[in-house]
């Protein structure tokens, strides 16, 4: 029963430690120290996907270096841009997004460009509203033909979030370029946005605003309506044509008709590039970032595709808490399985931590593919700390095994020798007592070795309880024990030994084979070391052993000191 209570307490002790550790890890995560690692992991998730799907609803018209050479000027003059946009519109797209600032007239033909905006309601230009403000295109309807070009960049310089809309100080809602184009496309499907609390209901989609601590974020700036961008793995996700091909008429109606068309620069000289999770070194043109957001909104609203969400903060905390508690119980079971793992525990834990990490990684990756970004760095930190704690605990246990007798759980001969030698070296007064269980061989023969082991355990604990905190009670060997009593005279020694005899007698351990008492008894041999007495530990043991022999010769169940 005692052993069961001890194991139950140890298990609860591990759980309490796991709870404290998980709380500490959650706090560290909330500060943001683990955020870079979370970003690194989720970036790997993006790159691990191998889907080759494409989006037939979107076409990107690129403006590269060869297009700039063809046009011969940048910014593109208003008259040429007006002709270009009119040409694109003639192919009957479902929306046109111009990711080029036109807040000021450029060259000739400004009135022509204004006329194109006025006659093309599905044409959307861009403005910049965060940081350095850049106004909307001149002549564009601010309610329906203007979208924000602002891109949300994380602290590590990568774009993982898309800005759908913001609320101005005047209470007006401004949509991002991607969201404006998506709404323009969906209007023809009779799908309109419906905002409920922090969720946007759009067709089959439910878009929840990103919160400060969703997924792997910690105190993120989530002003406006932001969502995670679910970048596809296929680098050729969108069809593209060049601006020069449009101007030369080298495209077919099917390439543009009923599609959302985004127009933007990819020329290196124009420096409109952003790092994304899709590559460590290769940047993505800004027009492609907007295109991915448009695609995500349309696919979720029309096809019901799962939207990537970061799990809410409380779910991430619960996830970390549960994994930490589960890991703590696994380590506990390893500690308790001594016969199997005592000599291999370090190797087992060394393999177990990577296996647990791999399991957490696989679960998190599976959830990611179902549209949920769940933290992984916080639980892995907890599991790693648990493994270190378990190794340190086992190392302490191993040190205990080297110092304590396994059967009686009191110090062993090795510890006794070291303690005795230290007192001899210090030249202090102390007493050495050697103890022997009377007629113990007969006890074993009568009651069996299991009973004999139980008897030795009881005697060991009696010796331990009967001595002081400064004393040492050790198993000397077999049925022999030793007491080392520092700063003790003979009179105090007699008092201690009498107390031990009374405590042992109160246990009433039956011993039918004893010739001195119906219960188990002990004989004691005493050796006293005075301050002025020079003696080696070997000589002292021999003196105590001789006294023990005399105690037995005189009838046992007594202590003897040769003064």
How much is the average pLDDT of 148-165? 96
- DSSP secondary structure letter of residue 276: -
Which residue has better confidence, 390 or 435? 435
**Helix/strand/coil for 123:** strand
332 and 419 co-located in one domain: no
Same domain, 290 and 427: no
Burial class (CB in 10 A: 0-12, 13-18, 19+), 31: exposed
Contact (CB, 8 A) for 514 and 438: yes
27 and 39 part of one domain? no
d(CA 102, CA 139): 10
Residues 520-539 pLDDT 10s: 999 999 999 887 677 889 99
Which of 49-58, 260-269, 524-533 has the lowest average pLDDT? 524-533
162 belongs to a structural domain: yes
Structural domain includes residue 426: yes
* Inter-residue contact 147 to 123 (CB < 8 Å): no
**Percent of the chain with pLDDT strictly greater than 90:** 72
Does the active-site annotation cover 508?
no
Q: H helices within 279-376, ranges in order?
A: 286-303, 313-336, 338-341, 345-369
Predicted pLDDT of residue 464: 93
Pairing of strands 161-167, 173-175: antiparallel
Classify residue 484: in a domain, yes or no. Answer: yes
Residue whose C-alpha is closest to residue 123's, from 78, 80, 86: 86
Residue range 230-250: mean pLDDT, rounded: 94
Of all residues in the chain, the percent with pLDDT exceeding 70 is 93
CA distances from 304 to 202, 207, 212 (A): 10, 11, 26
User: For residue 482, what is the domain's CATH number?
Assistant: 3.30.70.270
**Domain annotation covers residue 223:** yes
**Selection from 361-375, 378-392, 418-432 with the highest mean pLDDT:** 361-375
* Angle formed at CA 497 by CA 491 and CA 502, multiple of 5 degrees: 130
- Are 342 and 218 in the same domain? no
Do 244 and 115 lie in one domain? The reply is yes
Kindly indicate the confidence band of residue 259, based on its pLDDT and cuts at 50, 70 and 90. very high
State whether 57 and 143 are in the same domain: yes
Among 161-165, 208-212, 388-392, the minimum mean pLDDT is found in 388-392
Please give the residue that has the higher pLDDT: either 401 or 457. Answer: 457
Give the pLDDT of residue 333. Answer: 77
Cα distance between residue 518 and residue 383, in whole Å: 56
Residues 262 and 331 reside in one and the same domain: no
Domain that holds residue 372: 2-31+312-403
Which of 381, 403, 425 finishes a domain?
403
Question: What are the residue ranges of helices labelled H in 438-536?
Answer: 440-447, 449-466, 490-507
- DSSP conformation letters of 217-256: -SS----SEEEE----S-TT-SEEEEHHHHHTT-S-HHHH
Question: Beta strands 480-486 and 430-437: pairing type?
Answer: antiparallel
Q: Which residues contact 556 (CB under 8 A, 6 or more apart)?
A: 438, 439, 515, 516, 521, 523
The whole-angstrom separation of Cα 283 and Cα 272 is 9
8 A C-beta contact, residue 231 and residue 288: no
Q: Is 70 exceeded by the pLDDT of residue 93?
A: yes
pLDDT in the model for residue 401: 60
**pLDDT exceeds 70 at position 349:** no
Q: Flag whether 345 is in a domain.
A: yes
Does residue 177 register a pLDDT over 60?
yes
**pLDDT (0 to 100) of residue 10:** 58
241 falls within a domain: yes
pTM: predicted TM-score of the whole model, two decimal places: 0.75
Q: What is the pLDDT of residues 284-342, one digit of tens each?
A: 999 999 999 999 999 999 999 988 999 999 999 999 999 988 888 887 777 666 544 44
| Residue 205 falls inside a structural domain | yes
Q: Which of 403, 422, 453 is the last residue of a domain?
A: 403
Is pLDDT of 503 > 50? Answer: yes
Q: Which of 479, 512, 515, 543 is catalytic?
A: 479
Distance of CA 181 to the CA centre of its chain: 39
Q: What DSSP character marks residue 134? A: B
Lowest mean per-residue pLDDT among 81-95, 181-195, 343-357: 343-357
What is the pLDDT, as a whole number, of residue 3? 38
Task: Tell which of 289, 310, 331 closes a domain.
Answer: 310
Write down the pLDDT at residue 468: 92
Same domain assignment for residues 363 and 273: no
**pLDDT for res 196:** 83
Number of compact structural domains in the chain: 3
Judgement on whether residues 377 and 274 belong to the same structural domain of the protein: no
Segment among 164-178, 250-264, 445-459 with least mean pLDDT: 164-178
Mean pLDDT of all residues in the chain?
Answer: 90
Q: Which stretch of 19-33, 267-281, 452-466 has the lowest confidence by average pLDDT?
A: 19-33
**Which range has the worst mean pLDDT, 270-284, 341-355, 528-542?**
341-355
Residue ranges with strand state E in 503-551: 522-529
| 11-38 average pLDDT score | 86
**pLDDT value of position 336:** 67
Same domain membership, residue 16 and residue 45: no
Q: Of the candidates 441, 456, 432, 437, which has an alpha carbon nearest to the alpha carbon of residue 547?
A: 432
Spatial distance between the Cα atoms of 561 and 539, rounded to a whole number of angstroms: 15
Tokens of 2: 């005692």
**In the predicted model, what is the mean pLDDT of residues 481-505?**
94
Judgement on whether residues 384 and 449 belong to the same structural domain of the protein:
no
Query: Is 242 in the same domain as 153?
Result: yes
Q: Is residue 408 part of a domain?
A: no
Q: Tens of pLDDT along 506-519?
A: 999 999 999 999 99
Closest listed residue to residue 23, CA positions, set 367, 328, 320: 320
Residue bearing tokens 């018209």: 61
Q: How far apart are CA 479 and CA 44, in angstroms?
A: 64
**Which two three-digit tokens encode residue 544?**
């105590």
| Per-residue pLDDT at 463 | 95
């Amino acid at each position: 029963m005692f052993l069961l209570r001890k194991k139950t307490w140890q298990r609860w002790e591990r759980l309490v430690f796991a709870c404290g550790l998980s709380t500490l890890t959650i706090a560290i995560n909330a500060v943001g120290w683990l955020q870079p690692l979370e970003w690194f992991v989720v970036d790997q998730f993006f790159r691990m996907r191998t889907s080759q799907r494409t989006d037939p609803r979107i076409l990107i018209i690129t403006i590269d270096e060869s297009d700039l050479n063809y046009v011969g000027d940048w910014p593109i003059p208003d008259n040429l841009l007006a002709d270009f946009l009119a040409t694109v519109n003639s192919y009957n797209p479902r929306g046109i997004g111009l990711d080029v600032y036109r807040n000021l007239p450029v060259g000739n033909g400004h009135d022509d460009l204004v006329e194109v905006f006025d006659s093309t309601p599905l044409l959307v230009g861009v403005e910049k509203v965060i940081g350095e403000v850049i106004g909307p295109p001149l002549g564009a309807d601010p309610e329906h033909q203007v979208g924000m070009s602002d891109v949300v960049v994380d602290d590590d310089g990568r774009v993982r979030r898309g800005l759908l809309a913001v609320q101005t100080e005047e209470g007006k809602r401004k949509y991002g370029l991607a969201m404006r184009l998506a709404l323009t496309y969906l209007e023809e499907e009779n799908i309109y946005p419906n905002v409920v609390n922090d969720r946007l209901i759009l067709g089959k989609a439910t878009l929840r605003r990103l919160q400060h601590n969703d997924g792997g974020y910690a105190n993120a700036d989530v002003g406006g309506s932001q969502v995670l961008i679910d970048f596809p793995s296929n680098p050729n996700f969108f069809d593209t044509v060049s601006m020069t091909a449009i101007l030369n008429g080298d495209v077919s109606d099917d390439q543009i008709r009923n599609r959302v068309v985004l127009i933007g620069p990819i020329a290196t000289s124009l420096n409109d590039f952003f790092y994304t999770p899709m590559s460590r070194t290769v940047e993505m043109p800004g027009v492609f970032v907007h295109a991915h957001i448009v695609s995500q909104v349309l696919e979720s609203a029309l096809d019901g595709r799962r939207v990537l969400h970061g799990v809410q903060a409380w779910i991430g905390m619960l996830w970390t808490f549960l994994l930490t508690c589960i890991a703590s119980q696994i380590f506990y079971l390893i500690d308790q399985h001594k016969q199997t793992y005592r000599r291999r525990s370090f190797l087992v834990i060394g393999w177990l931590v990577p296996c647990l990490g791999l399991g957490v990684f696989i679960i998190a990756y599976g959830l990611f593919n179902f549209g949920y970004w769940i933290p992984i760095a916080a639980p892995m930190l907890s599991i790693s700390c648990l493994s270190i704690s378990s190794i340190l605990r086992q190392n302490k246990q191993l040190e205990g095994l080297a110092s304590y007798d396994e059967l009686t759980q009191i110090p062993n001969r090795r510890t006794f020798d070291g303690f005795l030698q230290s007192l001899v070296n210090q030249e202090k007064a102390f007493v050495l007592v050697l103890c022997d269980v009377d007629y113990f061989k007969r006890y074993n023969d009568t009651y069996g070795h299991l009973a004999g082991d139980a008897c030795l355990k009881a005697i060991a604990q009696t010796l331990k309880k009967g001595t002081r905190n400064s004393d040492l009670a050790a198993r000397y060997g077999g049925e022999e024990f030793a007491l080392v009593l520092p700063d003790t005279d003979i009179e105090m020694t007699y008092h201690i030994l009498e107390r031990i005899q009374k405590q042992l007698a109160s246990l009433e351990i039956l011993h039918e084979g004893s010739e001195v008492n119906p219960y188990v008894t002990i004989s004691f041999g005493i050796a006293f070391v005075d301050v002025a007495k020079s003696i080696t530990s070997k000589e002292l043991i021999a003196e105590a052993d001789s006294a023990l022999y005399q105690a037995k010769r005189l009838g046992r169940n007594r202590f003897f000191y040769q003064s």
